[in-house]
Every structure is written in C-alpha cells, then in structure tokens.
Amino acid sequence: RRARPVREVLFFPSRPCCIEALLAEAAEPGAPARPCPCPLPSGDTALSRLVRRLLSARRSLDLCLFAFSCPQLARAVQLLHRRGVRVRLVTDAQYMGLHGSQVGRLRHAGIQVRHDQHSGYMHHKFAIVDRRMLITGSLNWTSQAIQSNRENVLVVEDAEYVKAFQDEFERIWEEYNPTSYTFFPQRQ
C-alpha cells in the first residue's frame, strides 16, 4: 500500500546534533549501532530530519544548490553515491570554489557536477529525491545557515510541484552542459 504523501516544514536554526547513527544505518542497514564518541545529542532536529529525507533516496538525487559547504550533508550525499544512487549536482560558479565548499570533494568522489557561466547567481536551493519528493526553501547547505540563520525548508511529495522543479532541473542541467561552455566572459 502506498504511504501517505510526505508533507513537512522544517525551520532553522537547528539544534546541533550528531548524525553518525543515521549515516551508519544508511551505510549498513541493520548493523549493530556503535555509539559515537562525540558530545552532541542525536535527537530529532531540523538537520536530522533533512538528512533522513535525503537518505531515503533509492534511485536518484538531483541537487540544485547555490552554496554547498556543510560537511555533514556532503557525507550523506557521498554515501548515496556509493550506494549506487544517481546523484547530479548543479551549483553556482562563483560559490563553488569558495573556502569550505564541498563541491570539489563531491566531484572528486565521482559525482557529476555542472555550474553556470553567468554573472547572475544560480540561487536555487532544492533537491529532488527519486523524482518524487521535492525539498526546497531558503536554506543554503552551509553549516552557518543550519546553525545560525532563520531558514525554512519545505518537503513536498506532490506530483505537480515536483514536476515543475524536475523540469527546471533538466533545463538547467542541459544549459550548463560543459560542451556548451564558451570559455569567454559573457556580456550580460
């Protein structure tokens, strides 16, 4: 039987929390839990809920993120990639090279990354899990935003909204295809 569609709103800042148990369970389901030595609680927080939603991916994860520097979220994405989930990441050219960005690390791990060539920002902050669940809001995927800012994230399992964002993702993915790079500054 089909479960009820997910409808969730997450507000940040999130209390600090340890997500090791979540990552371990996703890496090796059913394995005996090993307690993490870190002092953080492993409670139910906005961050842990976001990580849980991401780790539910089975086939694909499409990421369209202005800034991605949070190491915890990068570990979750890498784990999905290792598990065989098809991960694609679109990001902003000006921000991907900044100190602390996780984009290089993800690319190095074999994840496909594309970026804009424009002076305007690729300012989206959304993810689509299995072409079925949309995760979108004001939150850039940075530790500062997660821990310090007032932010929102909507989790929506609704075919109409998901399709609009999936189509936008595919448009951007094609537009930022490296075979179309000009290697010249554009006038915009």
Nearest in space to 95 (alpha carbons), one of 72, 123, 71? 123
Q: Which stretch binds a copy of itself (CB under 8 A): 38-46, 55-63, 100-108, 135-143?
A: 135-143
Amino acid at 124: H
Concerning whether 125 is annotated as a catalytic residue, the answer is: yes
Concerning whether 130 is annotated as a catalytic residue, the answer is: yes
Residue 164 is a binding residue for a copy of itself (CB under 8 A): yes
How far apart are alpha carbons 15 and 117 in whole angstroms? Answer: 36
Question: Which residue in the list 81, 115, 124, 125 is annotated as catalytic?
Answer: 125
The CB-of-118 to a copy of itself minimum distance in angstroms stands at 8
Written as six digits, the tokens of 39 are: 């002092």
Helix (H, G, I), strand (E, B) or coil at 77: helix
Q: Which of 32, 37, 120, 178 binds a copy of itself (CB under 8 A)?
A: 120
Residue 141 is a binding residue for a copy of itself (CB under 8 A): no
Concerning whether 163 is annotated as a catalytic residue, the answer is: no
Q: Which of 2, 28, 84, 160 binds a copy of itself (CB under 8 A)?
A: 160
Nearest residue (CB) to a copy of itself, 34 versus 187: 187
Helix (H, G, I), strand (E, B) or coil at 114: strand
Count of CA atoms in the C-beta half-sphere (13 A) of 69: 17
Nearest in space to 125 (alpha carbons), one of 99, 108, 149? 149
Count of CA atoms in the C-beta half-sphere (13 A) of 117: 15
Nearest residue (CB) to a copy of itself, 20 versus 157: 157
Residue 158: burial class (beta carbons within 10 Å; 0-12, 13-18, 19+): middle
The CB-of-30 to a copy of itself minimum distance in angstroms stands at 34
Nearest in space to 128 (alpha carbons), one of 18, 4, 6? 6
Residue 188 is a binding residue for a copy of itself (CB under 8 A): yes
Which x/- pattern over 4-43 shows residues binding a copy of itself (rule: CB under 8 A)? ---x-x-x-x------------------------------
CB 19 within 8 A of CB 170: no
> Where in the sequence numbering do the catalytic residues fall?
123, 125, 130
| Interface residue list for a copy of itself (CB under 8 A) | 7, 9, 11, 13, 66, 116, 118-126, 136-139, 144-145, 147-152, 154, 160-161, 164-165, 168, 172, 188
